[in-house]
């Protein structure tokens, strides 16, 4: 087996790397940010880390494909009142419409093939 070359490995520390502000419909959301981990996908698609500051709410949206996420820190409350907690792995199916908010703040590892459609 050959050695892994430096150009073949990307390591990103989510505790020390600077996140980008989240933008919805051209508006910068100062209470939400993300760290794109796979640049073969458009921004906010593929595998990325999403942070919501305490009190933040996501834009109501519809998933154009399955969304999968793992709660790393904090709590996230969906529009139906369901509370996601650290360690929860969630799959929301294509066509799901929702928005979420957090009282405590949240850090979430997300995978989605396509960007969702805002409602």
63: which DSSP letter?
A: -
Q: Which of 51, 46, 44, 53 is nearest to 117 (CA)?
A: 44
Tokens matching residue 8 = 């073949």
Q: Which of 80, 73, 26 is nearest to 50 (CA)?
A: 73
Domain ranges of the chain: 12-118
- The CATH code belonging to domain 12-118 is 2.60.120.10
pTM of the model: 0.90
**Going along the chain, which residue ranges are E strands?**
20-24, 27-36, 46-52, 61-62, 67-74, 76-78, 83-84, 89-92, 97-98, 100-101, 106-112, 117-118
What is the spatial distance between Cα 33 and Cα 107, in angstroms, rounded to a whole number?
A: 10
**CA 68 → CA 17, 26, 53, 55, distances in Å?**
22, 25, 20, 22
Provide the residue-wise pLDDT of the chain in tens; the chain has 119 residues. 999 999 999 899 999 999 999 888 888 999 999 999 988 998 888 999 999 999 999 989 898 999 999 999 999 999 999 999 999 999 999 999 999 999 999 999 999 988 777 77
Which pLDDT score is estimated for 90? 97
Tokens matching residue 119 = 């409602």
Which pLDDT score is estimated for 119? 76
What is the spatial distance between Cα 19 and Cα 21, in angstroms, rounded to a whole number?
A: 7
């Amino acid at each position: 087996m050959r050695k892994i070359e430096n150009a073949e490995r990307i390591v990103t520390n989510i505790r020390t790397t600077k996140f980008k502000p989240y933008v919805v419909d051209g508006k910068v959301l100062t209470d939400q940010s993300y760290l794109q981990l796979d640049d073969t996908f458009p921004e906010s698609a593929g595998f990325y880390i999403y942070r919501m500051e305490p009190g933040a709410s996501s834009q109501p949206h519809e998933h154009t494909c399955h969304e999968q996420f793992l709660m790393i820190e904090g709590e996230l409350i969906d529009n139906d009142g369901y509370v996601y907690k650290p360690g929860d792995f969630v799959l929301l199916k294509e066509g799901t419409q929702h928005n979420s908010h957090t009282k405590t703040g949240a850090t979430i590892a997300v995978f989605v093939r396509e960007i969702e459609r805002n409602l």
